[in-house]
């Protein structure tokens, strides 16, 4: 079902595009962007030079970055299929995503090892589309009570030794790990990951707010899909949600589909986090791109897609993930949750880049950075996506 891939090529493209609404310097500016060999090489005032494309009043934003997405179009990262991974990253550009972390789900050591090897092989051999920044390793080091759709029979205690094996299979591409840090004895794996450039994100966790503070002190830098898969906020027992509110310099992912968290909850989260530490994620499953009523096996469990796009376990009816498109998430944040425009845009551009420490090349429209761009109309529909300066959508 998946098309053949074209190896990733970024060089040789020279162009100038312009818009009356280019997002940089935390505002929309009338400007031209010059691109050469995959990089932004200059920015001019609107109308300075002849252009290859004038987008008028349509908005040019930095390309979207999704750090928590399991798959789409019938493919799941755990499937370990090269053609499926290539098809996914080639087509995810339709929603403006220009970079992502391929995300695993808890499974057997054999399944996870094969999944990691598959990502490493595709990255090495070449692909076209959104850049695979690495792997988000979600599980298997999770809490049983807050496991969500993660299969409990494969949940284990974290060990540095086992993680090293996984990282070797991934050829060093595990960049982000979700785990219940309260199960990490002496924070051994938390420390190891922090020392080796892997973002530790607290998630599927029963940690208290005090335990979260200790995890932060030992190297944890983020929280996974805040509100979901964690201890809730109470005025006496503040839980992980309370810790997410209180720790201003701790990044926090949040699924912005309006189902996992209401617009009010989204508003409160970003009100607490401010403009620089909230990260929109899709947590999208292989079911993305499939009609309502479709059923899939995810992590060994059957899930069904509802009319609102949410994915639910057929056994318990509980939420199991989303089919969110990031451009739609941006619309929900700005138009429904009434999150400030700069905060909403940062959540899917600058903030994930900063969390992964790649903001020196991605996440902003700035001279010297990768020419990853998305063009949106007034209804948040994607008109064009540029990956390293290459136009990815056929918009004849």
Count of CA atoms in the C-beta half-sphere (13 A) of 213: 10
Told to judge if 184 belongs to the known catalytic residues of this protein, a careful annotator would answer no
Q: Judging by DSSP bridges, how do beta strands 59-62 and 373-376 pair with one another? A: antiparallel
Please answer whether residues 60 and 365 qualify as being in contact, where contact means their C-beta atoms are separated by less than 8 angstroms: yes
Residue 218 annotated as part of some ligand binding site: no
**Which residues partner with 101 through β-bridges?**
134
Catalytic-role residue among 143, 184, 257, 283:
283
Please answer whether residues 10 and 389 qualify as being in contact, where contact means their C-beta atoms are separated by less than 8 angstroms: yes
What tokens were used for 76?
A: 């799941």
Residue 229 annotated as part of some ligand binding site: yes
Please answer whether residues 187 and 214 qualify as being in contact, where contact means their C-beta atoms are separated by less than 8 angstroms: yes
> First CA to last CA across the chain, in angstroms?
25
Residue 228 annotated as part of some ligand binding site: yes
Residue 260 annotated as part of some ligand binding site: yes
Residue 99 annotated as part of some ligand binding site: no
Residue 267 annotated as part of some ligand binding site: no
Measured CA to CA, the distance from residue 174 to residue 164 in angstroms comes to: 10
DSSP string over 104-172: --S--HHHHHHHHHHHHHHHHH---SSEEEEEEEE-SS--STT-TTS-GGG-----HHHHHHHHHHTTT
Torsion, Cα 3 133 155 167, to 10 degrees, reads 110
Residue 11 annotated as part of some ligand binding site: no
Measured CA to CA, the distance from residue 44 to residue 371 in angstroms comes to: 15
Give the residue numbers of the binding site: 138, 149, 204, 225, 228-229, 236, 260, 319-321
Give the residue numbers of the binding site for substrate: 149, 228-229, 236, 260, 319-321
Catalytic residues: 283
Give the residue numbers of the binding site for Zn(2+): 138, 204, 225
């Amino acid at each position: 079902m998946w098309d053949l891939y074209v190896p990733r090529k970024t060089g040789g493209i020279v162009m100038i595009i312009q818009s009356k609404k280019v997002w940089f310097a935390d505002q929309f500016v009338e400007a031209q962007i010059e691109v050469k060999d995959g990089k932004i090489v200059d920015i001019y005032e609107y109308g300075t030079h002849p252009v290859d494309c004038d987008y008028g009043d349509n908005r040019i934003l930095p390309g979207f970055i999704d750090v928590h997405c399991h798959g789409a179009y019938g493919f799941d990262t755990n499937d370990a299929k090269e053609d499926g991974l290539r098809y996914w990253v080639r087509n995810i550009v339709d929603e403006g995503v220009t970079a992502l972390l391929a995300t695993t789900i808890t499974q057997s050591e054999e399944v996870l090892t094969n999944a990691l090897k598959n990502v490493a092989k595709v990255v090495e051999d070449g692909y076209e589309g959104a850049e695979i920044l690495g792997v988000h390793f979600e599980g298997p080091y999770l809490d049983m009570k807050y496991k969500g759709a993660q299969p409990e029979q494969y949940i284990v205690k974290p060990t540095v030794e086992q993680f090293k094996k996984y990282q070797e299979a991934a050829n060093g591409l595990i960049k982000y790990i979700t785990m219940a840090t309260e199960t990490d004895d002496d924070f051994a794996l938390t420390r190891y990951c922090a020392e080796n450039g892997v973002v530790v994100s607290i998630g599927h966790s029963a940690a208290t707010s005090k335990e979260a503070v200790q995890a932060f002190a030992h190297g944890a830098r983020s929280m996974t899909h805040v509100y979901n898969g964690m201890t809730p906020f109470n005025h006496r027992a503040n839980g992980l949600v309370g810790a997410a509110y209180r720790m201003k310099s701790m990044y926090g992912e949040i699924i912005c589909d309006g189902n996992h968290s209401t617009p009010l909850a989204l508003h409160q989260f970003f009100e607490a986090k401010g403009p620089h530490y909230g990260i929109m994620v899709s947590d999208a499953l292989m079911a993305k791109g499939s009609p309502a009523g479709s059923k899939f096996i995810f992590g060994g469990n059957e899930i069904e897609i509802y009319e609102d796009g949410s994915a639910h376990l057929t056994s318990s009816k509980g939420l199991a993930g989303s089919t969110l498109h990031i451009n739609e998430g941006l619309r929900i944040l700005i138009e429904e949750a009434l999150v400030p425009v700069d905060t909403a845009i940062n959540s899917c551009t600058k903030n994930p880049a900063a969390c992964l420490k790649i903001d020196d090349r991605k996440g902003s429209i700035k001279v010297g950075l990768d020419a990853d761009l998305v063009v949106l109309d007034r209804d948040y529909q994607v008109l064009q996506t540029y990956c390293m300066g290459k136009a990815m959508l056929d918009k004849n």
